[in-house]
Structure 1
Amino acid sequence: MKHPTETDALGEFLISARSLAEYRAIFELTDTDLRGRRVLDCPGGAASFAAEAAALGARVTAADPIYARPAAELRELARSETERGSAYAGAHQGRYRWDFYDDPDHLQAVRLSAATRFGTDLTAHPDRYVAAQLPALPFHDNSFDLTLSSHLLFTYADRLDADFHLAALLEFSRVTHGETRLYPLVDHTGRHQDDLVAHLRNELHDKGIPTTLRPTHYEFHHGATTMLVLQPNQN
């Protein structure tokens, strides 16, 4: 596995372990958004969101190709990837705002706690974790009331092209009866993807899928205070 250096290269796709508190901040989630709702988290990574939101009454499905791996391997991967991501953030501290996490050590502590809860829930409730890879998901139309997607689309715009982004967004629209919320709209170096966002919004509009840009109070990359929201398809 590649490790971060003092360059801008993050290396491989990072498997992140985020908590419910982070999801609430990122996606402006309320208890009403979650309680009794069918929620898709894609990609789910090593987040504890599925476990924590389920405890509030949400019916969460996390989808990610990594779930094809054995549980023991995933638990170890969640920890090593958390350490890799924290090391990268620590090596590029000026790229981020630290209001939410205080410092890289606190960031790592939050993520390691989430990774541990993920590992426990993966063993206790494996049905919540579906091995699936965008842009083709193994779910029926309108399977979910809400879809959440963070830190894949736009984050890796250096290796996922516009066609991939559009196909993924159309797939989210297909499987989601209500809203799809996506964050951030910057790449992993903090570069804003305004042109890509505008292109995708135009394409979705032409296909009958309304979109909005909605503010979020979460800001880790400087200026990343907006999420893209897809409304139900009007066709």
Structure 2
Amino acid sequence: MSDSIGEYLVSARSFAEYSAFFDLGEDDLRGSVLDCPGGGASFTATAASRGADAIAADPAYADPPAEVAARVRAEVDRGGAWVTARTGRYEWGFHHDPETLTRGRAESARLFAADITAHPDCYRFAALPELPFADEAFDLVLSSHFLFTYADRLDRDFHLAALRELRRVARGQVRVFPLVDQAGGRLDGLVDDLVRALTADDVRAERRRVPYEFQRGADTMLVLHPPGR
């Protein structure tokens, strides 16, 4: 069985998932938030409905909203099939079972489709490691299931450039999750190397446990702190 999902998955994770794997509290959503890459997640829609100034950035948003929404709906099925074929790699406390997971992702895709249609300006075409935002544009920057997840095709230099770019556009913290690859493989050596490089840039980086584990062993995020904090 292949350990590669193939083409980058434009996934439709929910606000509840984001809250858990980024360990988000109410204070985290009081300002401006960037989700990069945002994929088909409903995080931006829900965060905005709760008062946050939320923006998602993703290369998938180069296409018209209707085409992006259709792609995300198809990706729910592709992601669901991947997980169903590998149920033993996952902890099911949060999602319960593959059917519940797929239903939740389908609902997230529905919310995403409605929001990108109603508020297209909140969904910006952009691709790491170069983002079209000013320095320190966001109070909080979130990045899930891209860096580290695709370490089979994104090398160390790409990761470092991307983390530096996420740090550049953040006034506050950058949070990256998970720190394993798509097959659940640990990447301690890569993470350690990147932390050393960021420390040399005077960026304080720490691993922080979170109240979420779906991929086995994936219960930690990388947090990059603003200077002096």
> TM-score, normalised to structure 2's length?
0.98
- 1:203 and 2:194 correspond: no
Establish whether residue 46 from structure 1 lines up as the match of residue 40 from structure 2: yes
Q: What is the deviation of 1:34?
A: 0.4
Report percent identity of matched pairs. Answer: 54
1:106 correspondence with 2:100 = yes
For residue 60 of structure 2, what is the aligned residue in structure 1? 66
- Residues in 1 aligned to 2:27 and 2:68: alpha-carbon distance in whole angstroms: 31
Counterpart contact for 1:173–1:233, Cα < 8 Å: no
Q: Does 1:190 align with 2:184?
A: yes
Counterpart residue number, 2:9: 14
Paired with 1:188 and 1:7, the residues of 2 have a C-alpha distance of: 11
| Deviation sequence 1:174-217 (CA, Å, 0-9, x none) | 10010000000000000011000000000000011001111101
1:64·1:133 contact (CA, 8 Å) conserved in 2? Answer: yes
CA RMSD of aligned residues (A): 0.7
Q: Distance in 2 between matches of 1:222 and 1:18?
A: 18
Which blocks of at least 5 consecutive residues in structure 1 are unaligned?
1-5
| Cα separation, 1, equivalents of 2:64 and 2:138 | 26
Q: CA deviation at 1:32?
A: 1.0
Kindly provide the amino acid, as one letter, of the partner of residue 139 in structure 1.
F
Aligned to 2:28: 33
Which residue is 1:3 aligned to?
none
**2:212 aligned to which of 213, 218, 221:** 218
User: Which amino acid in the other structure matches residue 26 of structure 1?
Assistant: F
Q: Distance in 1 between matches of 2:151 and 2:135?
A: 27
Q: TM-score, normalised on structure 1?
A: 0.96
Once residues 150 and 91 of structure 1 are traced to their aligned partners in structure 2, the CA distance between those partners, rounded to angstroms, is 22
Structure-1 separation of matches of 2:147 and 2:18: 16
Aligned length: 228
